[in-house]
Amino acid sequence: MQADRRASDFAPKTDPEFYRQLLDHIADGIYFVDRERRIHYWNKGAEQITGFSAAEILGRQCHDAVLNHVDAAGRSLCRGDGCPLILCMFDCREHQDHIFLHNKDGRRVPVKVRSQPMYNDLGQMVGAVEIFSDATAEFEMRRRTEAMQRMAFIDHLTELPNRRYLEMTLRSLLTEARPPQENFGILLFDLDRLKFLNDTCGHSAGDEALRQAGHAVASALRPTDIAGRWGGDEFLAIVHNVDAEILSELARRAVTMTGRKQVTAQAQQIQLSISAGATLVRPGETLEQLVVRADALLYRSKSGGGGRATMD
């Protein structure tokens, strides 16, 4: 008999207060809005995530600039068609998304939301419920993953694309089919006298010289071109849709702009210079053949005293 009484304590309840307390024990935020998006229920989870108490929220419309839902680009969702509650009541379907809300302190909080329409006993839509959870940990993990992926293709000293990225891009360009007029070429650069600068002024001066030279090369090119650090004192640029004349002009411009840069070391101004080899890709050429030819042209520039560009 006693066991039966204990079991009956956990029998399904019909008292609405029981279900209200049940929802208040859920960590996710839950709230209900009517067809005009006026908020009629706000659970403890919603209070915990947002910092807004039920007393501050109930009776207000969800677009009253309370939570200020925005997407990843910062666009407001509350007054437009992007509101998950509007969408689910419009097409009578559940919607899930990752968005941001602003808590009571004004801090933007990433949340995962699930919205679905609600119906009465007659099958009439009476509003919608939204369940949301704090996605800060998931968001931070995704952000770190994306940062690590970017770092895998970035040279940390110059903050330009690294050799891995340049090789990947070149191999893709060499294997894809292109119209004959869409030719491309490469520019291979070498910072002149870097070893001398490192030996006489220290590696910090050499590092600064590499940064200055890399930025000069990148700024000399067009927005569609890609310049990165090839390794050591070398930079490589991938130049799209060019002929020999344009490629040669870009090489000379990069040499000239680098020559205007100076590095201060041991109370002296040291002018930089860079040498270049420029070549257009040839049909059926491999990456290795292309780079070897550019390197030979670069060597001719270095042998001629540096601070110049050579093209085949």
pLDDT in tens, the chain (312 residues): 444 545 455 555 567 788 788 888 889 999 999 999 999 999 999 999 999 999 999 999 988 868 889 988 888 888 767 788 999 999 999 999 999 999 999 889 999 999 999 999 999 999 999 999 999 888 887 887 777 777 889 998 999 999 999 999 999 999 876 666 678 999 999 999 998 888 888 899 999 999 999 999 999 999 889 999 999 999 999 999 999 999 999 999 999 999 999 998 777 888 999 999 999 999 889 999 999 999 999 999 999 999 999 998
Q: Is the pTM of this model over 0.95?
A: no
What one-character DSSP code corresponds to residue 161?
B
Fold type of domain 152-311: Alpha-Beta Plaits (3.30.70)
Domain limits, the chain: 2-141, 152-311
Pairing of strands 29-34, 184-191: unpaired
Q: Which residues of 271-304 are buried (b: 16+ CB within 10 A; e: fewer)?
A: ebbbbbbbbbbeeeeebeebbebbeebbeebbee
Query: Cα(165)–Cα(285) distance, rounded to whole angstroms?
Result: 19
CATH architecture of 2-141: 2-Layer Sandwich (3.30)
User: Residue 145: its pLDDT value, please?
Assistant: 75
User: Residue 3: its pLDDT value, please?
Assistant: 47
Contacts of 112 (CB under 8 A, 6+ apart): 96, 97, 98, 132, 133, 135, 138
Query: Cα(227)–Cα(237) distance, rounded to whole angstroms?
Result: 4
User: Residue 280: its pLDDT value, please?
Assistant: 96
